[in-house]
A and B are shown apart, each in its own frame.
Chain A
């Protein structure tokens, strides 16, 4: 059994009404420990519902989700599930609870009943991981968006989760803030082995994942490597998604009859391919 197992999950926000709207309509997904998965889809496709199901904030209307074999709906193990799967949301201002950065980060482990000395260690460690240790005594509301979001991530790390789900964590950030947060996510995945589930509208972020899942109308439509997913430009457009500008460029050149074999995902790769075409 994989680390996270989603088995035939249905979810509806109004299960008792006549016109039941299924936000999720029979989703199956397995995620192994240490994977970096990006979930793509237009607004209303069910991505955010998925995010909240992973750590038991929402319970499936039908089907089941297990984290290391534990059901997310098991009330006795609720703490176990929520500390195994941390959730970072879009707006950093809604996630700050304390007046000082380090107290904010300590909030999670305090709630889990971690002994004070260990909390101190965990908070310092977490702030160093997201590169915010120098700001530990600052007021969160005076930080930039990217810094706030990294503090929110530190608060999750301090609970020592096996997995972090991030629901559009960069939607409100400027380009620098976005880069900071993406670098932090990469580091957590590579160096700390934390499983990452990133929900995003930004294609340049999705291409950084090891695996991309595309959703629409409560279904999973495609599941593959970024290369596999982004090579199928017509499919993405059909489902109201975008491709990185470099991919779009090569796709259009190919459409005009030029010998383009592969779709590039990043600037450098695209430039190499263009240089070959020129020669």
Chain B
């Protein structure tokens, strides 16, 4: 290889390197740009339409200005409360099993895999299953079945929380050092007590943030609520009745032709986003603080 070819080749290599660097910077800009566009637009539109009435009034009839989404906020709170009641204990229980009892067994691996796959199942399918199981048929022994109800919406959201809570709980428990468990057992503490009061307690910041993450994820879910909670224009906190929810209300208002409703939808989106960003930042803060780093 003569000198000229060598020089040409090394120049080509440097050029390719530079091109790839430029392309990946371009890709980063292209990814960040829509995000900033979405956020800026959301804050701009939402902040200009947020007011006190949004939080304390129910929707006005079409054509009347004003009104708010108080009923949707309360409805979302009811639905999410119910979902957490179902999803958090079962999810944490499953996580404890995976980390404390089933570690390394085939059964635990199967559950872990199923949980991960369940995490990817579209939320609308969850809603359909709940619709078929409790909304459509009037089943004896299952309360509130046979019609659209807040209860069925809460169940749909709760089921969606289980895999996320379960997997994060497991992750967090695995970070608790063995020595802590052995110390507790060595003092004569029964195993169940050691798990609950020592292991889970040590990992509790992580577990709580995992629950918040799951909470934030289902807080914005619309699809499963369309045919379970259905939505409601009026005040309701009755588990037996259709109930309003923030994302559902945003969906309905976003597709309406009225400017006033669009305004409300933007305000609702901003409230929802603030809630979710808070939860996600908290998760990041706690997990990056590294309280729990240690041998598993």
* A, B bound: no
Residue positions of B touching A, CB distance < 8 A: none
